[in-house]
Structure 1
């Protein structure tokens, strides 16, 4: 099957580099709404900031089902929880971090008057004067601070408790990999936008509700609200998953492999995908010769779980993009897998 659309890498770059921690997704939301204007029949924003876009299907009234897709706009990050007298900021994390990946990072603090550049580092001695015990220690989030290079008085005048703090990273293409921050889950936001674009040329059979959700990283909160409102007949979560096909990990723990296709999730710690729906997607992928792989993720969850549990329950699965280095600023996806997910979704929605 030829690809239904060519990857718009420039849009993916913009989505990766834009900032939006849970509860403060407004920059991402503005970009999403601008991109989908004219691609759908309705766009609305709900009380939690979700974007809910409707693309009506071609089946007769009374026969159309509601198919809900959901990809989350938020990225892991921080908010300011304390400003000390010297102007150093202490942080509350929003989402899960491996603190070994947070040493000496450039960050941006988003104040009411605009962004301020800063440096994130843990407290303690640098390596030149550290003891052997210091060097072995893995710091906790509470030990990290942000240095804004300003006086305490100046910082307190500019920064408020609750201001978002995001990690800085430029998007890069590395061979076949597309690498940057917030691929979890802007890569799926990108897929969802490109699916809506492709549906301009091949209309969906049933009504498609494309949800760009908020606050997934702190408990699937946006998708819970959106699914309750939409009342879908079928749910499809869109997210990333581990691809630990790298040195130091055995193949039995890799979860997925880069470049081998979109992952059809069977299980994670928040949901078991509906089996008949899994079988339908697998059969379609094989019929259309779209590369796919099956996924079992020991720990983690997606918006699919929120959809599946809404009201009386919804048949649901999640499609995942294999991703290396998840929850870092160098999250990497593969062009082949991304194209496969777009193609499979379009094939399903138009069959």
Structure 2
């Protein structure tokens, strides 16, 4: 471990760094390696598995204390090329649920599967406004109508660039400050949570917890919600807290559908579900969730209660793993315009989320032991 005590992490700088790395689900290699390099500054107990999940453990040698796993997924939404037309356009399939409503006319990057070729810039095509019918103006395009223009004039020209069926597509990095406290960028879901965990890693490297704490940066959440399972199977934690975006409903179009707003602190989940049948979801372990809320109140951390349909996370399946299951909770940061090419988060919420996770990691081991005993 080579940690310089004179340096401190900066959330805004970390956000710009992390959102500048593209990592479509299943292709997290670059972001995993970048995060692993940072974690090695803070602990000697790091690991990256075959899928790209990265972990760092603190107080690793004390096997007789409760084990808390805190995780954030690293992958992002995007597209994958399904067809190359004879005149050089790329037709695409969604990967991880990017917003179709806002995808047109967005700048993107297309990644050749062969790493010897450079990344290619492109734009998602859109019909000229002058020729839109009244119906066109009211209808969201079908996903199979979306195409990408990379400036090529033929299929052969596309192939010569290393682009073909299976090439991955991500939105172009676009990080900017927005007002005094907010930031706008692609893939704040979930690089903002990754930045929060890097700040937590820095704290834990200087302040040994009384319990064993592992941080995980997981893969393929946007694709199938199960990329984190190898981490849980290897580490066998007693407690899991997933950290992800919470959809903010403080804009005119959502009009407080759920009571989650930017600038009012992290969200503590009571209940989330797919909302279209019993496909998945999570009901946070009530005693564990109450401890998290108590720590917020006792430490002056503003927080919001979250109940939501249509949102899932890594925790959706992790609570059912193990002979006795796993005591699981979920906390989030409010996010506007989720899964669009540009999302918005508030640095104050992220700072409070760091403090919440520091407080939870620093809680006396007796609190965790009592939970395990059912007290």
Compute the TM-score of the two structures, normalised by the length of structure 1. Answer: 0.93
Is 1:283 aligned to residue 285 of structure 2? no
Structure 1 residues 306-321: aligned runs within 5 Å: 306-312=317-323, 313-321=325-333
- Counterpart of 2:355 (choices 340, 343, 346) is 343
Alpha-carbon distance in 2 for matches of 1:198, 1:346:
7
> Any gaps of 5 or more consecutive residues in structure 1?
none
1:73 matches 2:74: yes
Shift of 1:16: 1.3
CA–CA distance in structure 2, aligned partners of residues 67 and 7 of structure 1: 24
- Secondary structure (helix, strand or coil) at the match of 2:214 reads strand
> Which structure 2 residue ranges, 5 or more long, are not aligned?
1-7, 274-280, 364-375
* Counterpart-to-counterpart distance in 2, 1:276 and 1:67: 15
- Aligned counterparts of 1:191 and 1:241: Cα–Cα separation in 2: 14
* Alignment partner, residue 137 of structure 1: 139
Q: Give the direction of change, closer, same or farther, for the CA distance of 1:22–1:226 in structure 2 (3 Å limit).
A: same
Any conservation in 1 of the 2:103–2:341 contact (CA below 8 Å)?
Answer: no
Confirm or deny: 8 A CA contact 2:249 2:336 kept in the other structure: yes
Q: Which of the numbers 126, 147, 163 marks the counterpart of 1:159? A: 163
Matched pairs, number:
342
* Matched residue SS, 2:244: strand
Distance 2:330 2:261 in 1: 17
Give the 4+ runs in structure 1 shifted more than 6 A.
none
Structure 1 CA distance for aligned equivalents of residues 59 and 97 of structure 2 = 37
Please state whether the residue corresponding to 2:321 is helix, strand or coil: coil
Which secondary structure state, in structure 2, belongs to the residue aligned with residue 154 of structure 1? helix
Structure 1 Cα separation of the partners of residues 253 and 101 of structure 2:
17
- 2:177 match: secondary structure: strand
- Equivalent residues of 1:41, 1:56 under 8 A apart: no
Shift in Å at residue 154 of structure 1? 1.3
Give the whole-Å Cα distance in 2 for the aligned partners of 1:250 and 1:129.
33
Matches within 5 A, 1:1-351: 7-56=10-59, 61-62=63-64, 64-111=65-112, 112=114, 113-122=117-126, 125-152=127-154, 153-157=156-160, 158-175=162-179, 176-251=181-256, 253-269=257-273, 270-312=281-323, 313-351=325-363
How has the CA–CA distance of structure 1 residues 120 and 61 changed in structure 2, closer, same or farther, with 3 Å as cutoff? closer
SS at match of 2:19: helix
Query: What is the DSSP-based 3-state SS (H/G/I as helix, E as strand, rest coil) of the residue aligned with 1:259?
Result: coil
Query: Would the aligned equivalents of 1:255 and 1:297 in 2 still touch at CA under 8 Å?
Result: no
CA distance in 2, matches of 1:174, 1:131: 35
Shift of the alpha carbon at 1:57? Answer: 5.5
Distance 1:274 1:235 in 2: 10
The 1-side partners of 2:71 and 2:167 are apart by 27
Q: For 1:15, what is the secondary structure of its paired residue?
A: helix
Shift of 1:230: 1.6
